[in-house]
Amino acid sequence: MKLLDILVPTYVQMLGALSEWLAKAEVQMPGGEADALLSKRLSPDMFPLSTQIRFACVQAQEGMCRLQGRDFPDTIDVLLNEGRNATERPGSIADARARISEALGVVKGLTAEAAQTDPEAPIAHALPNGMIFDLTAKQYARDWTMPQFYFHIIIAYAILRGQGIDLGKADFVAHMFPYLRPGTMPAQ
């Protein structure tokens, strides 16, 4: 199985789910109240919801680019700068959903042009603090990009749940329902 065959559906499914969670928040908190959620944090020393959303979008785009040996699109720098400044300018739910839509467009566009990625190809992953991880493409996908992506998705889910948005496990795994065997859905 190719690395992108695992990553792309995950990015698409979970970014789509994140957008739906935000849509639910808008319905459950009408009149612009939902926008205030973007400044909420799971813990005081963590980034707010708006940053978690932006960083999930970054991880999806960055993962696709690194694994294909491509330059990063300008959207990554925009998202990183917005995320770092989210405390002052968290934006709106509409802004967040637009960023998710843009990230999905980049991921899908890169998928259409995807080159084969050798799972053993070397990837030097440098962090802003100077640390550099030397990984294979398979290690990068498994040990860095997928966990980092899910971290931001899960924190966003937890913030929304913690702020009273009615979300459940079915919202987190909505992509599974097409696989549900007919007649096995429990009665409510």
Place of tokens 């080159």: 115
Which two structure tokens, joined as six digits, stand for 169?
A: 């496990």
**Predicted local distance difference test score (pLDDT) of residue 59:** 95
**Predicted local distance difference test score (pLDDT) of residue 100:** 97
Q: Could you give the 3-state DSSP secondary structure of residue 124?
A: strand
CA-to-CA distance for 28 and 164, rounded, in angstroms?
Answer: 9
CA-to-CA distance for 24 and 34, rounded, in angstroms?
Answer: 9
pTM of the model: 0.92
Averaged over successive runs of 10 residues, the pLDDT of the chain (188 residues) comes to 85 97 95 91 95 96 90 88 82 94 91 75 91 95 96 98 95 92 87
CA-to-CA distance for 55 and 58, rounded, in angstroms?
Answer: 5
CA-to-CA distance for 118 and 2, rounded, in angstroms?
Answer: 9
**Predicted local distance difference test score (pLDDT) of residue 22:** 97
**Are residues 83 and 47 in contact, defined by beta-carbon separation less than 8 angstroms?**
yes
Number of Cβ within a 10 Å radius of residue 22: 23
58-77 tens-digit pLDDT: 999 999 989 888 888 888 88
Q: What's the DSSP call for residue 70?
A: P
**Predicted local distance difference test score (pLDDT) of residue 115:** 66
CA-to-CA distance for 63 and 127, rounded, in angstroms?
Answer: 14
Q: Per DSSP, what are the bridge partners of residue 102? A: none
Which domains, from first to last, does the chain contain?
3-179 (1.20.120.450)
Between helix 49-68 and helix 146-162 the angle, nearest 10°, is 160
